[in-house]
Amino acid sequence: MNGFVYSKHAVFQVGFLLVDGFSMLTYASAAEPLRAANEIAKKPLYKIWNIPAQGARATASCGTLVPANAHVGERSGFDLVVVVASNDSPDAQQPRLLDWLRQLDRQNIVLGGLAAGPLMLANAGLLRNRKMTLHWAFQNTIEELHPDLMVQQQLYVIDKNRLTCAGGTAPVDLMLAVITEHHGARFARQVSDWWSHPDIRPQEAPQRSEHASRYGIYNARVLSVIKLMESHLSDPLDLSQLASASDISERHINRLFKTHTAFKPMDFYKRLRLQKAYELLSQSAMSVSDIVAATGYSSHSHFSRSFKHVFELSPSEVRASLGKRGGDGSYASVALLP
C-alpha cells in the first residue's frame, strides 16, 4: 500500500460519511475491524467518527439510526474519510458535501468510498487518474456517468490516496489491509480471527460468482456468447455478429440457447439490456432518454414497450414507485434471467 495510509495522530482518526439508505452491513464491515483492533490491543488505535450527510443522525437501509459524533465541515483532523452509500441518492449530489470532500483532499486527507460511495467521489472529481472499484450493481451507472474512470472488477482498490471498495463484507478485507500496514500482518490476523474470518481475501478477488454459477449455465460456448452480450449492452450486436465474434454458427447458437437457457439468444440479450435499464432507473438520476441510449435502443417508444412487457410497469412508473419507497439501499435488481 506504499505507506500512504499514515496517521498524523497517536490514534488514527477515521470518519465515515454516512448517506441515508447506506447498508448497515457495509458500514459495520468497515468499522468493526477497527473497533476489534482497539479491543485486542487493549488501547485506542483507531477513533471512529460518524458523520451523517445531513442532520444529527444517519438512517441505514434497515432503519437503524447512527447518531453523529461529528458533522460535515466542523473538523478537519481526520486521517481517513470514507463515504458509505448504497444508492445514488440526492444527498450524494449536494454541492456542500462535494465541496467538503474536495476541501479534505486539499488538506491531504485520504479519501475512500464503499458500495456506491465511490460514485460520490467521482461526482466530486476525486477519482480522476485513479484506479477504483465499487459495488458491481453500480458499475453500469458509473460507466455511463463517468466513462473515463478506470473501474476495476475487484473487492477493493488502493491507489495512492484513494480507497474504494465493493461494500457488503468486502470492507472487512480492506480494513484488514489498512491494519496490516499500521500494525503488521500478525496483528491483522488476530483481528481477522476475532471475527471468524480466517481467509483474508486479496484486493483482486472477484465481487460476485462466476457466470456459470450466476446463470446456472455451464456450457462454455453459451457462456462465451453471454460475456460478449454483456460487453455490448449499449451497442447491441445482431445474431450474425454474435456468431462471427464467437466463431459459432447462428444455427448452433440458437440450438445451444434452446438447450441451456429458457430463452432464444436475442430474447436473452434483450433481457440483459432491460436489466441494465432497471438498474440505471433505480440507482441513478439519469434521464429516461439517456437510459434508452445506454441500453442500445434507438426509439423511446420501442424501449418503453419492451420494458413494460417485461416489468408490467413503465420506466417512469418504476422510478416513481422507487421514489415513494424512498429507496431501501439494496444493490440487486430484479431477477430477469435464470
- What does residue 253 show for φ and ψ, rounded to 5 degrees? -60, -45
Residue extents of the structural domains in the chain: 12-194, 211-325
pLDDT at 206: 77
CA dihedral 86, 91, 93, 96 (to 10 degrees): -130
Query: What percent of the chain has a predicted confidence (pLDDT) above 70?
Result: 90
pLDDT at 328: 39
List, for the chain, all residue ranges whose pLDDT scores fall below the cut of 70: 1-9, 88-93, 209, 322-338
pLDDT at 188: 96
Residues 179-232 pLDDT 10s: 999 999 999 999 999 999 988 988 888 787 677 777 888 888 999 999 999 999
Angle between helices 300-311 and 265-283 (to 10 degrees): 90
Structural class in CATH, domain 211-325: mainly alpha
Which three cell numbers mark 257? 440457447
pLDDT at 141: 84
Is the CATH number of domain 12-194 3.40.50.880?
Answer: yes
pLDDT at 210: 72
Residues 82-126 pLDDT 10s: 999 987 666 666 899 999 999 999 999 999 999 999 999 999 999
pLDDT at 331: 43
CA dihedral 99, 18, 90, 26 (to 10 degrees): 130
